[in-house]
Each structure stands twice: as C-alpha cells, then as structure tokens.
Chains A and B, each alone.
Chain A
Amino acid sequence: MSSSRITSFQGSRNFRLLIVLATLSGKPIKIEKIRSDDLNPGLRDHEVSFLRLMEAVTNGSSIEISYTGTTIIYKPGIITGGSYTHNCPPSKPVGYYVEPMLYLAPFSKNKFSIIFRGVTASHNDAGVEAIKWGLLPVMEKFGVRECALHTLKRGSPPLGGGEVHLVVDSLIAQPVTMHALDTPQIASIRGVAYSTRVSPSMVNRMIEGARNVLRGLSCEVDITADVWRGENSGKSPGWGITLVAESKKGWRYFAENIGGAGDVPEDIGTQVAYELLEEISESAVVGRTQLPLAIVYMVIGKEDIGRLRITKSQVDERFIWLLRHIKKMFGTEVFLKPVDEPESDDIIVTIKGIGFTNTNKKTA
C-alpha cells in the first residue's frame, strides 16, 4: 500500500550516499539488484556493518535485508548521534564509515562521539588525514566549526588494530548558504608522512620524493614525519603520505596514498605530489573528493540560492550520478552556468536549498 512512497534504486552504486540522503530527507528507500549478477551476490560485510552503524546513530530506523542480500528496504528514523564504538570489519578502513557520518553528524539530536576501530588506511578509501584536513575544513565552511577526528592508534592493512575518534560538537539547524565564486589562491602546502611498524627511514624517503617534485613551486612546503611505534601502531607494518594545499581562506585540496608490497617510498612520495598538482589543476573551489559533501550540504541548506565554482572536468560521471540521486531523493535540480570570464571555462553550480531543518532543532 505505502510502497508507492518508497523511492527505489538499483545496484550497489553510491550505497552509502543513498542511505545518507534517505536519512536526511526522511524518506524510505529500497535498493534492489545489489550485485545480483555477481558470483558472490548481495551486500558485502562492510555494507552491513555500515547499516549497523546507521542503526546505532539513529532512532527508529528500520532496515530489512532480503534473504539473498540483494534487496534492502531502509526506513530512516531521526539522527540521534551519541557515544558509540564501532568495530569496522577489515575489508574497509575506518574512513569508509567516518565519511558518511560527516553528512549526518551536524544535524543530530545529540553530539556525535564515535570511536572507530579497525584499519586506518587503504588505497581507495578516505584516510585519516584526508578526512581531518580535507573533509572537515569543508564542513567548517558550511558552519560546522567544532568537529575533529583524533587518531588514537594507527592500524595499517591487512590486520589493522587502529582506532580513531570522531567528535562533532556543532549541532546546527542547517548548513550556511555557500557563495564561492572565485578559485582560491594556494598559500602553502602541508603534509604528513607516517609509518607503522617499519623503519622511520621510509617516512623520510617519502618526504624526500614529494619535496623533489614540489620544490619549484613558489610556496612553502612543510611535510611532517609521523612515526608510530609500539602498541599504538597497530598490528601490521605500513606507511603512507598525505599532501594538502591550503588557501588562506581555509579551502584545501589534497592527495594521499599508502605503500603496498614492493613499492618504493620515494616513488609513492613523488606520485602523491604529482597527484596533488593534478588535483589542484582539476579543481576550482573544492577538490573532486570534497565535491559530493559540498553539494549535499548545499542541497539541504536554507531556501536560498547557493553558488559554488567548479571546473569543467569536475563534471564527470560521479557528479552526474550524484545529481541524479539527489534529484530522486529531494526533487532538487542543480543549475550549471558558465562563469562570466573569457579565459576560463569553469562552471558555477547553483543550488536552491530545500529548506531542511534539523528536526531536533525545531523547538529551539
């Protein structure tokens, strides 16, 4: 009877995003055909673990998973937050779970204070520094000032043993309306190279590789060595580097990677430095990894027009999927308009907020 109100999706694409959007919009969703053609069909353990986490930080949500795990019906409750410890299965690092929390935490009833245990780095998911220096600053721009991610222990793959603490103390009614029409100027490049359970020389070699590339730039480059030893360095050896370009006004671009078997530290350092340059050249105000968070915050903003400058190359397949999914959940369309500058083919993304208010703040 009420099934017509359920918005349905197919496939495993943007899984976490869909759950997050459903929670923010308060609308139930159904996702079908999750890896139905795969040899190992249905939800993966990290996705189930993520749903558990969603259950823990909300009140009144219901999750039904079909027998084969290829269909799920999610009816969102209200975001309650609170203190919780989440043990992440080793297939995905903690960043996989922290990232979607950033979309929800500021609009919660209670402050978020969640400890995530597990692997803290991987090749494809958000690393600890990427969140701390790349995503939290975006939230700050939207008015979420008090949020922090503390690294208590590092845990390299495959065994992990790391621990991070996400604290979001700002509870706001809705994000601030964004007007970012100019590409910010980069003032400095910072970075951190870390290692767990390997010789500290690896860290210095990565820094050396990155510095070699960035030397010619006309800005300050400061990369910190962060060597972890003993109990707090997890169960596996590992190393990695994150580089962040900062503007004076607080916008950031970043690139990160970790070493795998057989990798040479200098090469990883060099590669991440190149990737940072590439990311800067592909980005206007926010980097590609920050864009979805910024767009979603703009959509759930006040009933006012927000504007964000992006580059032509940021309009890619991920961006289109993101906008289609947003339209399906919120009914909001995004307008793209070329900038009024002759030598630039950047685009201004214009979004009218849906006038979302944190339900827990209504009485205030």
Chain B
Amino acid sequence: LQGSKIRPRKWDIGKLIYMENIEPFDCIKRWKGELEDENEESGEQSEEEDFFKQADKPENKNTEAEDDLEKFKPHFETFKKLAAKWSSFDSLKGRFAGRPNLEQ
C-alpha cells in the first residue's frame, strides 16, 4: 500500500479528457504533473472536495472565462511578458519558409 503512495502517477491525457469526474483544470494539472502529492494519493476524497468547491463558487468567476468557447480570443500573457519572450525569434526559426537570414 505504501509503495503505491510513493510511485508518481503518470496520467494519460487521452483518458483524462473523458473522465467526467475530474475538472478540466485538474486534468491539465495532473497531466503536466503539477498537482500536489496529497491530492493525488487521496483521489476520491479530493474529488469530493472539488465537487463541493465547484458547487460553492459560481460556475465562472466572470462571464468571459478563459475555458469558455463563448470567448473567442485566446489567453495571452501580459504585454511585458510577451515583449520579453519575443525579443528574439530563435524559437520560431523553423517555422518560416522565407529567404534565409543572411546574418546567421
């Protein structure tokens, strides 16, 4: 029993997507391994807690939640973060078919 507690669980996103008892937010977290240990080991209990949490809070914090397709525009980082990230185009190098950049 103890062994199963320690073993880090690897989640298959293909299955997680269709596990209706897990909120999509948690699916993503579990898949990416960001979930806290305590939540993982007591699976059923945490689900129950989640359930109550869900019922307590209104379904969306605001009317245009990020996980709702009713809002068309996807989520973007703040201007500052984007500006820092895109000060160089290195990560997009392979994506452009244009003429080769002569400086490199």
Using a CB–CB distance below 8 Å, which chain A residues touch chain B? 10-17, 33, 35, 37-38, 95-96, 99, 123-126, 130, 183, 185-188, 213, 216-220, 247-248, 256, 267, 270-271, 274-275, 277-281, 287-289, 292, 315-318, 320-324, 327, 333-337
A271 near B79: Cβ-Cβ < 8 Å: yes
Stretch at the interface among B2-10, B38-46, B94-102: B94-102
A125 near B72: Cβ-Cβ < 8 Å: yes
CA distance A126 to B70 in the complex (A): 10
User: Which among B20, B59, B63, B100 has the greatest number of chain A C-beta atoms within 10 A?
Assistant: B59
A317 near B83: Cβ-Cβ < 8 Å: no
Output the nearest chain B residue to A188 by Cβ-Cβ distance.
Answer: B98
User: Which among B31, B60, B96 has the greatest number of chain A C-beta atoms within 10 A?
Assistant: B96
Output the nearest chain B residue to A253 by Cβ-Cβ distance.
Answer: B95
**B side interface size, CB within 8 A:** 43
CA distance A123 to B65 in the complex (A): 14
CA distance A289 to B66 in the complex (A): 12
User: Which among B25, B86, B89, B91 has the greatest number of chain A C-beta atoms within 10 A?
Assistant: B86
What's the least CB distance linking B40 to chain A, in Å?
19
Is B37 at the interface (CB under 8 A from chain A)? no
Q: Which residues of B contact A267 (CB under 8 A)?
A: 79
B99 near A218: Cβ-Cβ < 8 Å: yes
Known contacts A37-B58, A218-B101, A289 near B24 by CB under 8 Å: no
Known contacts A13-B67, A323-B17, A334-B17, A315 near B28 by CB under 8 Å: yes
Is B1 at the interface (CB under 8 A from chain A)? no
Known contacts A315-B13, A321-B67, A220 near B98 by CB under 8 Å: yes
B18 near A318: Cβ-Cβ < 8 Å: no
Q: Which residues of A contact B25 (CB under 8 A)?
A: 317
Partner of B79, one of A14, A274, A281: A274
CA distance A264 to B50 in the complex (A): 43
CA distance A337 to B27 in the complex (A): 17
Partner of A187, one of B89, B91, B97: B97
A335 near B97: Cβ-Cβ < 8 Å: no
Is B48 at the interface (CB under 8 A from chain A)? no
Q: Which residues of A contact B76 (CB under 8 A)?
A: 275, 278
Q: Which residues of A contact B68 (CB under 8 A)?
A: 12-14, 318, 321
Partner of A289, one of B18, B67, B72: B72
Q: Which residues of A contact B16 (CB under 8 A)?
A: 320
User: Which among B14, B27, B28 has the greatest number of chain A C-beta atoms within 10 A?
Assistant: B14
Output the nearest chain A residue to B64 by Cβ-Cβ distance.
Answer: A124
Partner of A316, one of B28, B73, B89, B91: B28
Q: Which residues of B contact A278 (CB under 8 A)?
A: 76-77, 82, 85-86
Q: Which residues of A contact B14 (CB under 8 A)?
A: 334-337
Output the nearest chain B residue to A93 by Cβ-Cβ distance.
Answer: B72
Q: Which residues of B contact A185 (CB under 8 A)?
A: 95-97
Report, nearest first, the 5 A-B pairs whose CB atoms are least far apart: A219-B98, A317-B67, A185-B97, A320-B24, A274-B82
Q: Which residues of B contact A123 (CB under 8 A)?
A: 73
B59 near A277: Cβ-Cβ < 8 Å: no
User: What are 12 A-B residue pairs whose CB atoms fall within 8 Å in the complex?
Assistant: A16-B70, A95-B72, A96-B72, A123-B73, A124-B72, A218-B98, A248-B97, A274-B79, A278-B76, A317-B66, A318-B68, A336-B14
What's the least CB distance linking B104 to chain A, in Å?
9
Output the nearest chain A residue to B20 by Cβ-Cβ distance.
Answer: A324
What's the least CB distance linking A251 to chain B, in Å?
11
